[in-house]
Amino acid sequence: MENKYSMPIIDVKHLHFSYPESPETLKDISFSVEKGEKVAIAGPNGSGKTTLLLNLTGLLMGDGSISINGTSMEKHSLSEIRKQLGMVFQSPDDQLFSNRVYEDVAYGLIYQNMQKEEIEERVQKALSDVGMAAFKDFVPYHLSLGQKKRVAIATVLSMQPEIILFDEPTMGLDSRAKKQFLQIVQQLSQTILVATHDLKLAATICDRLLVMDEGQLVFDGPMQDALREKELLEAHGLDPEF
């Protein structure tokens, strides 16, 4: 959909969400993201970051409105929306459920009814983008956490989405694996949302920061400004001195 005025690629308005028999997890969240923006969502554990990401994918559905690239989130538009957006889960073991690296990366493409040759091409490209091309016949169990993470990113890249969501991407990674992860992410041209409680990571990748606490959006602004607001960051469980 071509529009003279740039339309936000993600547009969230008055989003509320609660899990059954629990207090509200997301309270009136509104924000929008332009195409190509790199946005960090920071906040302490349990602040609702993951729940927000899951709402953006339509895996969870709350009250309010979400539109992705101009398509509003409805039950019937889910498959359309999921073609445009991929999510890298916190634990790669949940995301890599096949017995071979190749199969995991190809899984989504098979469900898009793609031709075998095109699948082959896309898998190769996605795997070499994350530096895992040599591992395509490996069993996921035999990979290190960092390698699994990279394959998990490849499963998303192979589907060539416009938006990529990351949930706590560096959790549990050693410093070398973290560095490799940063290298990969910095090369991506897609719109990126990273949920993390690691401000250093957020500052390295992103130019905009959203701070969440107890289900509310308490800050939304450029990363530079955010880093100056030390008191605000500390008040919400984030460490500005990294």
Partner 1 sequence: MINNAISTNSLYSIDARVKWVGAFVIAFITLSIPLYTWAAYILILSILLAVLIASQLPFYKVIKRTFLLEIPLIFVLAPLPFIKLDTSLLPVSIMGFAFQISQHQILHIGVLLLRSWLIIFTMVLLTMTTPADDLLFSLSSIGVPEVLVNIITLMWRYLSLFISDSQKLTSAREMRSVSPSGLRLNKQRFLWNIQVTGSILGNLFLRAYERSERIFQAMQLRGFDGTLRSLRSKSLSLMQKFQIILILVFGFCFIIMAYGIHGK
Q: Which of 95, 190, 191, 196 binds partner 1 (CB under 8 A)?
A: 95
3-state secondary structure (DSSP) of residue 187: coil
- Taking CB under 8 A as the criterion, the residue among 34, 80, 93, 118 binding partner 1 is 93
Helices (H), 158-207: 175-186, 199-205
Interface pick for partner 1 out of 19, 70, 97, 239 (rule CB under 8 A)? 97
Which range in 28-36, 96-104, 187-195, 213-221 contacts partner 1 by CB under 8 A?
96-104
**Secondary structure of residue 167 in the 3-state scheme:** strand
Of 16, 27, 35, 100, the one binding partner 1 (CB under 8 A) is 100
3-state DSSP assignment of residue 231: helix
Give 105-110's long-range contacts (Cβ < 8 A, gap of 24+).
105/136, 105/151, 105/154, 105/155, 105/158, 106/158, 107/155, 108/155, 108/158, 108/159, 109/158, 109/159
Tell me: does residue 51 bind partner 1 (CB under 8 A): no
Write down the least CB distance from residue 141 to partner 1, Å: 5
Among 23, 141, 189, 231, binds partner 1 (CB under 8 A): 141
Residues constituting the chain: 242
Binders of partner 1 in range 144-163 (CB under 8 A): 155, 159
Closer CB to partner 1, 3 or 113, in the complex:
113
Is there binding between residue 108 and partner 1 (CB under 8 A)?
Answer: yes
Q: Could you give the CA distance from residue 47 to residue 25 in angstroms, rounded to a whole number?
A: 8
Pick the binder of partner 1 from 13, 34, 72, 116 (CB under 8 A): 116
Residue 208, token pair as written in the block: 């905009």
Question: Within 10 Å of residue 196's Cβ, how many Cβ atoms?
Answer: 22
- Nearest approach in angstroms of CB 148 to partner 1 is 11
What whole-number distance in Å separates Cα of residue 192 and Cα of residue 165?
6
- Summarize as ranges the residues that interact with partner 1 (CB under 8 A): 54, 57, 59, 79, 82, 86-87, 89, 91, 93-95, 97-100, 103, 106-108, 110-112, 116, 119, 139-141, 155, 159
